[in-house]
Amino acid sequence: MLTSPDGVVWTLRASGLLGWDLEGVAWSGTRFSVVGGAQYQPASNTILTSVDGATWMQQTVTVPGGAQYFLNVLWADSKFVAIGPPAEVAISSDGLTWQVGPSSNDLLQYAISWTGSNFVSGGFDIDTSPDGITWTRTVPTSTTILGIVWGKDKYVAVGGGGVITTSP
């Protein structure tokens, strides 16, 4: 883990999670949240939180059914939303207490964005959600979506094989 006050000078921070991958980070205005897990062994998901980027607290979040782990996290609509494992999502209003529950999204998701009124996630398809829990599949994809952002009244999604796709 690295932190920087200016984007030029970086400080290496110890996460305490050797052998784990840290995949996504979000800022709520008062707290950082980092998600990841152990890729090659059955393990719980890990969510790290920090108010200063230097000292981190670990919350272990068990996702039913296996070794998949959260791949991204977003702060939007007054909550963190962590995505990744098929049919699971984790939501927290403070980054400390997480509610893990079933999601109607049944495919692996890598990317998440927010319009101000709607979540959109991308992975093996593109899905939408008004609340981060109830998802509707909107676009099947022929490649994996790895990043998605909302701007200038449209979504731009990028993925494997050099794919760039936009919403209308």
- The answer as to whether 2 is a domain residue is no
Output phi, psi for 161, to 5 deg: 70, 15
- 152 assigned to some structural domain: yes
Residue 5 placed within a domain? no
Which CATH number goes with the domain that contains 158? 2.120.10.80
Position 146 in a domain: yes
pTM, 2 dp: 0.88
Nearest to 112 by CA among 90, 95, 93, 142: 90
Domain of residue 37, residue span = 20-166
Total of domains in the chain: 1
Q: Cβ distance 146 to 159 under 8 Å?
A: yes
The tens-digit pLDDT sequence of the chain (168 residues) is 888 889 999 998 877 776 678 889 999 999 999 998 766 555 566 788 999 988 888 887 776 665 467 889 999 999 999 988 777 788 999 999 888 876 777 778 899 999 999 999 988 888 889 998 888 887 777 789 999 999 999 999 999 889 898 887
